[in-house]
Amino acid sequence: MALADEAMGDAADALHASVTALRGVGQALAAKLGKLGVERVEDLLFLLPLRYEDRTELVRFGALVPGTRCLASGEVLLAETVFRGRRSLLVRLGDGSGQLTLRFFYFSRSQADQFRAGVRVSCFGEVRRGPGGLEMIHPEYRLLRPGEDPVRADALTPWYPATEGVQQGRLRNLTDQALRVLEREAPEELLPAAVLDDLGLPPLVEAIRYLHRPPPEADIEELRLGTHPCRQRLAFEELLAHYLSLKSLRAAARTEHAVPLTAGGPELKAFIAGLPFRLTGAQQRVVGEIVGDLEEPQPMMRLIQGDVGSGKTVVAAIAAVKAIANGVQAAVMAPTELLAEQHLASFSGWLAPLGIEPVWLSGSQRSGARRAALDAISSGSGRLVVGTHALFQEAVEFHRLGLVVIDEQHRFGVDQRLALRNKGKRTDGIPHQLVMTATPIPRTLAMAAYADLDTSIIDELPPGRKPVTTIALPDSRRADVVERVREACRNGQQAYWVCPLIEESELLDHEAAEASYERLRDALPELNVGLVHGRMKPAQKERGMQAFKDGTIQLLVATTVIEVGVDVPNASLMIVENAERMGLSQLHQLRGRVGRGATESHCVLLYRSPLGRLAKARLGVLRDTNDGFVVAERDLELRGPGDLMGTRQTGLPEYRIADLVRDATLMPRVQIAAEKLLRNDQDRARAIVRRWLTRAGHYTRV
C-alpha cells in the first residue's frame, strides 16, 4: 500500500482542526484561505513568509540608505501641495540628523491638513533619491501623540503569499494564533535525531517559530535566499515526503503482476536487421535493458533519456514489436498531435514489413474514424495504437494492453501516466510502461521527480551527426540573416524560421509567425515559403510539414510547434526570433531540428536589444555547448525546475517550501534518509508523507 493511504490516527486535535476554529475566521475567509492551501490550523504553520521587513530598529534620517526599507521618525517641517507634472503632497520631516520627504500622489484635503508643522510622524517605506533629497513614496505612516514613541516590532515583520481579500495584517494575526496553538500542542518531530544532527538542522518546532517571527538579529538575506538552516529543515522534510511517495509507487509496482513478454526473439532480430540504419552502441544497451524488463513478471517502469536526435523512437518501436510478438497491444502517447503524427509516420514505415498497421486516435478525429479506431482497439485487431491524451479517455477500452510508451513524458502529470496504465489493468496483470524525454534531466531533478522509474540514457548520437554551430545576433541584423537563408536555399538546403506567436499581439512585441511569413515571402520571392502553427487543422499542418519534408517548401515559418518530432535531414539552418524570451531547453530542442543530414548546420538566435543578464547567460550557454545535459543543468540553475520541465501541470510535483535548484544539495541526503526509513521505520515514513501530501493528488497512491 502506498504511504499516503495510511493514516497515523485521527486528527481531532487543535492543530488539525479547521481554520474556522481560529478567532475571526468564518466560512467566507476560510474559502479565501483555501486558495493559499490553508484549510487546517497546521497549514498556517507551513505557509512561510516570502520575505521579511525590519521594523525593529528606528533609523535616523542621516543614516538612511537609498534602496532599503526602513522605519524612521521625525517632526513635520513643511507640508505643501505642488503641481510639478502631477499633483503631489510633499511632507518634509526632520530629526536633527537630516531630512526626509514623504511624497503622496493620492491624498485627500483632510489628509494633507493632518501634517501641521511640529507634528511628529513615524513612517515605513522604501528610501529613494528624489529631486530634493531622500524621500519615501506613499509610505505607511502614523501620527504620534505628544510624548509617544514610534512602535517598534520585537521581531522581523513577515510578508506572506497573498490572495484577494486576505491582507497581511490578517495573515499575521492568524499565524500568531497558530503559533500559540503550537506552544500548547507541538506537531510530532518526524525526522530522526541522527538525520538532524548529521545535517546540523534544528527541530521542527524551533524552525517553524523562527521562520514566522525571526528575531531582530536574524540575517534577512539568508532568510530571503532560503538557505537559513530553519528553512532547510522544512525543505528537507518536504523533499523527503515526495521522494518517499514516489518510492512507495515503485515498491507497489514490484508487488504487481505483468505479463512476462518472453517470446519474440526472431521478430526482434528481423525488425532490427530490416532497419535502414545500424543501432548505436547506446541504443543497443538500452534495448537490452528494456527487453530484460519486459521479460519479468513485474511491470517495467523505465525512463529513457536521450538528447535530440539520439534515436529514442526506434528503441520504443523495438519495445512495441516485442510486445506485439507476445500477443498484447502497445500504445504510444505523445503530448501534441504533430508529434503523435510524426510517430505514426515513423512506426508505419518501420512496421509495414511485419504487417503491423498502427491505429490512430486523437481528439480532433471525425466521429466515424474515431468509432472505427475505438472498435479496433477494443477488439484487439489494433495491435499498435498511436495518439494523444485521447488514449486515456473513458471511452477507450483496450483488448489486452501490454505496453504503454509515453513520449515527452515531462508534459504529462504522474496521474496521466497512471490513467493510461490503468487502462490495461486486467486479470493477468498490468501493462509495462516506457516513458521517454528529449529534455535531459539533471541528476538531482531526476532523483526528486522520477524516483518511481528506472532510468536508461542514450548518450550517443548516430554516426554522421555533426554539431550545430550556434550564433546570437541582434534583430537589427535581420537583413543579413534573410540573405543567409537565400544563400542556403540557393545551395539546395532548407531552413526553419521560428516565431513564438501565431498572430500579431498588442500585449507582446514578439515576432508573429503570420507577420513573419508575409514579410519573408515578400523578401524572398524566388523561394517557396510555408507556414505551420498550432491553430491549423491537423490536415493543414500535415500537408505543410510533408511539403517541407519533400523539399517543395524551402523555408518553413513556424511556431514552436515544430520543437519536437520533425525530422528533415535536408534542413541545415534554424532561425529563432525573440530567442531571449525562450528557455534554454526549448531553444536546444529547436536547434535539434537541424544537423540531421551530412551538411554543416547552423542555428541563428535573433534577439531584441538590450539583453538582460539572464537572457545573455542563456544565449551564451547555447553558443558554448551542444550537450543537452549541460544545457539542462544550466537551465535548471538559471530558470528553475518548473520552467525546465515545461509547465506547472507537468509531472514535476509542486513544492510548498522546497526549491529543487536551491535545495539540490539536499537530495543525496534525502535519498539516504528515505532508504533508512523505508527499511527501519515504515510508520514514521507514512507520517511524513501524510503531513505533506495528504491533499497533493492521487499520484501518492497506487
| DSSP one-letter string for 549-615 | HHTS-SEEEE-GGGSSS---TTEEEEEETTGGGS-HHHHHHHHTTS--SSS--EEEEEEPSSPPHHH
> Are 527 and 668 part of one and the same domain?
no
In a domain, 390, yes or no: yes
Q: How confident is the model at residue 642 (pLDDT cuts 50, 70, 90)?
A: very low
In a domain, 97, yes or no: yes
Do residues 511 and 501 lie in contact, with contact meaning Cβ atoms separated by under 8 Å?
yes
> Are 20 and 133 part of one and the same domain?
no
What are the cell numbers at 676? 533508512
What is the per-residue pLDDT for 270?
Answer: 93
Q: Whose CA is closest to 18, among 40, 44, 47? A: 40
Q: Kindly report the pTM of this predicted structure.
A: 0.69
Distance CA 364, CA 370 (A): 9
In a domain, 510, yes or no: yes
Distance CA 693, CA 245 (A): 8
Distance CA 487, CA 481 (A): 10
What are the cell numbers at 450? 522520477
Domain-ending residue, one of 597, 625, 653 = 625
Do residues 243 and 671 lie in contact, with contact meaning Cβ atoms separated by under 8 Å?
yes
What is the per-residue pLDDT for 644?
Answer: 41
| CA 460 to mean position of chain CA atoms | 27
Q: Whose CA is closest to 231, among 690, 657, 689, 664? A: 657
Q: What amino acid is encoded at 267 in this protein? A: E
CA angle, corner 453, sides to 447 and 457, nearest 5? 80
Q: How confident is the model at residue 418 (pLDDT cuts 50, 70, 90)?
A: low
Q: Is 456 exposed, middle or buried (0-12, 13-18, 19+ CB in 10 A)?
A: buried
Q: Does the pLDDT of residue 223 top 50, yes or no? A: yes
Domain-ending residue, one of 400, 431, 458 = 458
Do residues 136 and 149 lie in contact, with contact meaning Cβ atoms separated by under 8 Å?
no
What is the per-residue pLDDT for 112?
Answer: 93
Q: Does the pLDDT of residue 700 top 70, yes or no? A: no
Do residues 385 and 391 lie in contact, with contact meaning Cβ atoms separated by under 8 Å?
yes
Distance CA 8, CA 299 (A): 30
In a domain, 640, yes or no: no
**144-168 pLDDT, tens per residue?**
999 999 989 899 999 999 888 898 8
> Are 409 and 279 part of one and the same domain?
yes
Q: Does the pLDDT of residue 1 top 60, yes or no? A: no
**547-577 pLDDT, tens per residue?**
998 899 999 999 877 655 567 889 999 999 9
In a domain, 157, yes or no: no
In a domain, 630, yes or no: no
β-pair partners for 104:
89
**Mean pLDDT of the residues in the chain:** 86
> Are 337 and 239 part of one and the same domain?
no
**577-615 pLDDT, tens per residue?**
999 888 787 888 889 889 887 789 999 999 998 888 888
What are the cell numbers at 4? 499516503
> Are 282 and 184 part of one and the same domain?
no
> Are 543 and 617 part of one and the same domain?
yes
Q: How confident is the model at residue 635 (pLDDT cuts 50, 70, 90)?
A: confident
In a domain, 652, yes or no: no
Q: How confident is the model at residue 627 (pLDDT cuts 50, 70, 90)?
A: confident
DSSP SS3 for 620: helix
Location of C-alpha cell 487546517: 40
What are the cell numbers at 140? 505607511
What is the per-residue pLDDT for 2?
Answer: 43
Start-to-end C-alpha separation, the chain: 7
Q: How confident is the model at residue 9 (pLDDT cuts 50, 70, 90)?
A: very low
| CA 303 to mean position of chain CA atoms | 18
Kind of pairing between the strands at 401-406 and 432-437? parallel
Helix (H) / strand (E) containing 416: helix 414-422
* Residue 20 or 515, more confident: 20
What are the cell numbers at 458? 542514450
What is the per-residue pLDDT for 252?
Answer: 82
Q: Which of 294-303, 337-346, 675-684 has the lowest mean pLDDT?
A: 337-346
Q: Does the pLDDT of residue 4 top 50, yes or no? A: no
Sign of the CA dihedral 94, 100, 102, 103?
Answer: positive
**299-334 pLDDT, tens per residue?**
999 999 888 778 899 999 999 999 999 999 999 998
**246-291 pLDDT, tens per residue?**
888 888 878 889 999 999 999 999 999 999 889 999 999 999 999 9
What is the per-residue pLDDT for 335?
Answer: 81
> Are 218 and 294 part of one and the same domain?
no
> Are 203 and 135 part of one and the same domain?
no
What is the per-residue pLDDT for 393?
Answer: 81
Q: How confident is the model at residue 3 (pLDDT cuts 50, 70, 90)?
A: very low
> Are 440 and 503 part of one and the same domain?
no
CATH code of the domain covering residue 67: 2.40.50.140
CATH code of the domain covering residue 488: 3.40.50.300
Q: Does the pLDDT of residue 420 top 90, yes or no? A: no
Report the domain count for the chain: 4
Do residues 605 and 591 lie in contact, with contact meaning Cβ atoms separated by under 8 Å?
no
In a domain, 62, yes or no: yes
Sign of the CA dihedral 532, 535, 538, 540?
Answer: negative
What are the cell numbers at 643? 520552467
**287-301 pLDDT, tens per residue?**
999 999 999 999 999
> Are 307 and 344 part of one and the same domain?
yes
Domain carrying residue 137 = 57-144
Q: How confident is the model at residue 511 (pLDDT cuts 50, 70, 90)?
A: low
Alpha-carbon radius of gyration of the chain: 30
Domain-ending residue, one of 571, 599, 625 = 625
Percentage of the chain exceeding pLDDT 70? 89
Cβ contacts of 353 within 8 Å, gap of 6 or more: 274
> Are 188 and 235 part of one and the same domain?
yes
**169-213 pLDDT, tens per residue?**
899 999 999 999 999 888 899 999 999 999 999 999 999 999 999
> Are 243 and 337 part of one and the same domain?
no
The dihedrals phi and psi of 361, each to the nearest 5 degrees, come to -140, 120
- Quote the crossing angle between the two packed helices 584-591 and 628-639, to the nearest 10°: 150
Distance CA 695, CA 99 (A): 53
